[in-house]
Structures are given as C-alpha cells and as structure tokens.
A = this chain, B = another copy of it.
Amino acid sequence: MKNKYPELFQAIQKYNNIILVTHYSPDGDALGSMAALAYALIALGKTVRLYNQSVQPENFSWVPLPCVLDNELNKLKDFPAELLITLDCGDESRTGRELLPLLQNKKTLPWKDIVVVNIDHHFGNSEFGDLNIVESDAPATAFIIGELIESLGLELKDEIGIGVFLGIYTDTGAFAYPSTTAKSLEMGARVIKNGLNIREFTEKLSNTWTLNRMQLWGRLWQELELCSGGKVAISKIPHAYFEDTQTTSEDLEGYASFLRHLKGVKAVLMIRERKDGTVKASFRSDGVINVQQIAFELGGGGHKAAAGVDSNLDMQTFAGKARILLEQYIR
C-alpha cells in the first residue's frame, strides 16, 4: 500500500519517542485509534506513552492498551518526547485543560522542539498541529489510523485489529450511520479475516447495561409523550429518578438516539432535570427536520440535527414552552 501521508510517514520514521493523546471522556474511536496506533508504533520499535485527561472508561476497560494510560502530564515529564500525535480531537481544547495551554503556546511544553501531529476526521477541525491529517470524509479516526498502519507494512490483526475495528464500529453505529463507507466495511472485513473474534468483541462492547439502567429506561419509556402528530417524542427525566434507580446521567448515553426507533418519529426532545430544579434539554432530529431554531428560541443553540438548551426554568414549564414551539414548527 502506498504511503498516503508522506510527511507523517517520515515523522514516524524519524522520531523514536512518541506520545499519543486522545480527547477527554474518550469514546470507542478515540480509545481504539490510540490502542491501534500504539501497538503499531511499538511493533516498529518506537517508545510510546499514552496520555488522556480522563481515565479509561469503565465500559471500555476491556480495550487492550500496550502501556499505562497516564492522566497527569506530570507523569510524562521525564519522557524525552519528540513527537506528539493527537487523535480524534476536533480542536486543541479537546485534549483537555492540561495540554490546551501548552499546545496553544508550544514553547512551554516540557519538550521544546516537539512536533505535533493532529489526526482527526471531524469536519471543521481547527488544524492546530504542525502537521494536520484531517479527513472529514472518513467515518472514524480509526479508519485513517487503519490506512496509516497498513501503509506502514503492518496487518490489522490482534490488538491493532481490535482497536481499528472498535473505532470504526462505534463511530458508524455498527455500520449503520450514513458515514459508513464501502471502504470502512472492507477494512472491517480485513480485520475479521485476520482473526477478530466478533462474538467476543460485540459481547464486550454491548453487554454493559446494568439492571439499574434498564429500570431507569423502562420507567422513562412508560412515560414517553408524542407531539406534532407523532413526529416528535418527548422524554422528561425528573432528577429523583436517578436516585430511585441508583443511576447517573451517564446512564442516559444513547437514550435519545434510541427513541428515534419510534416509527414516524423524526425528532426527539429529552429534558433532564438537574438537582437544583433547572433543566438541560437535548434535541435530536433526522437531519431533515431543523431543531436548531427551536433550541434557539428556548435560549440555546446547536445544529440542524442536534441542539441543546441549558435553562433555569423548571421541568414542567420548560416542557410546556417546548411543546408549543414543537407543535408550531414541526407538523
């Protein structure tokens, strides 16, 4: 395979001490990209350190990493880093509060001449690196990493294969999102051909629900409301429900998206009550219906398909106002 990124290729050949960084609260693509690239660099004889502002998330604790994931920059201060590669970070701030000021004024980094490479697939990446490999057409950063690793002459197998597959699989919603490309399915096929045990993989990835979480979702599902002639689903989450079911707002991960399974539902509004009685609301739509304007009128903002509001209103008042706007804008 030809080297699609000659400058990156040269940098990897030139430098031996490399730090990999992904965004805080890492998702499957961030962790998978990091894992795959780390194992690949080690296979090439490099010395690698891993940094993330957050710890490895509980639901991804099974993802193999070749060394400790440091979450204090201080722990890396004696490492003679020459190259810092950020993965899946749309802008500098995604690297976290410790690295952000250092990236903004590179000379204050403990490593004065360090070269920063920014590898990402987010549209509108701020291109903060000395070298920027940004492919907004790629379904996942792990897909870019997969191409890079293959161009380095390595196969997508074992831990490298798991990392690449994890990133693509999670960022395409299991090959279901519009971003899913033929090439990403083909890359998945190569990983399976190289021996990935897909039963074990999906079991580790999917079997992560607690009974508490299911009870929370169950209660919310029983109380779902539809409006705008069935085109919008509204879910209200009183703060007390978290205490009742011993859950946290993290247990709502994926909840709004799931409501899009409702037939005819084109948009979803999730209103979460905070402990102090104020609310945080999230709109999600099919990308055809524009929820940005509705969020704006409620004091928030966002994009056409995903918008949000932080409001000081109480949940019932907010829900009432939102409902009137929804009925008005979406018919």
Which residues of A approach B to under 8 Å, CB–CB?
A: 173-178, 180-183, 185-186, 188-190, 192-193, 197-199, 202-203, 206-211, 214-215, 217-222, 224, 226, 233, 260-265, 286-287
Contacts and interface: CB of A to CB of B under 8 A. Distances in A.
A176 B224 CA distance: 29
8 contacts: A176-B202, A178-B198, A185-B192, A207-B261, A210-B263, A211-B233, A218-B218, A222-B222
A10 to B, nearest CB: 31
Given A173-B202, A185-B188, A215-B222, 11 more contacts: A174-B176, A175-B188, A183-B189, A207-B261, A207-B263, A207-B264, A211-B262, A214-B221, A214-B224, A215-B224, A218-B222
A237 to B, nearest CB: 13
A208 B262 CA distance: 6
Contact of A189 (B182, B206, B261): B182
Nearest to A261: B209
A192 B263 CA distance: 24
A198 B224 contact: no
A260 B203 CA distance: 9
A218 B221 CA distance: 5
A63 to B, nearest CB: 15
Contacts of A203: 286
A215 B259 CA distance: 12
A149 B215 CA distance: 47
Contacts of A264: 207
A175 to B, nearest CB: 5
A210 B230 CA distance: 10
B176 A206 contact: yes
A210 B264 CA distance: 9
Contacts of A183: 189
Contacts of A218: 217-222
A145 B209 CA distance: 37
Contacts of A226: 211
Contacts of A217: 218, 221
Contacts of A263: 207-210
Contact of A180 (B198, B210, B233): B198
Contacts of A185: 185-186, 188-189, 192
Contacts of A211: 224, 226, 233, 262
Smallest CB-CB A-B distances: 9 pairs: A218-B221, A178-B199, A185-B189, A182-B193, A218-B218, A182-B189, A218-B222, A182-B192, A176-B202
A251 to B, nearest CB: 12
A186 B217 CA distance: 36
B208 A215 contact: no
A230 to B, nearest CB: 8
A219 B286 CA distance: 27
A262 B209 contact: yes
Given A182-B192, A221-B221, A226-B211, A206 B175 contact: no
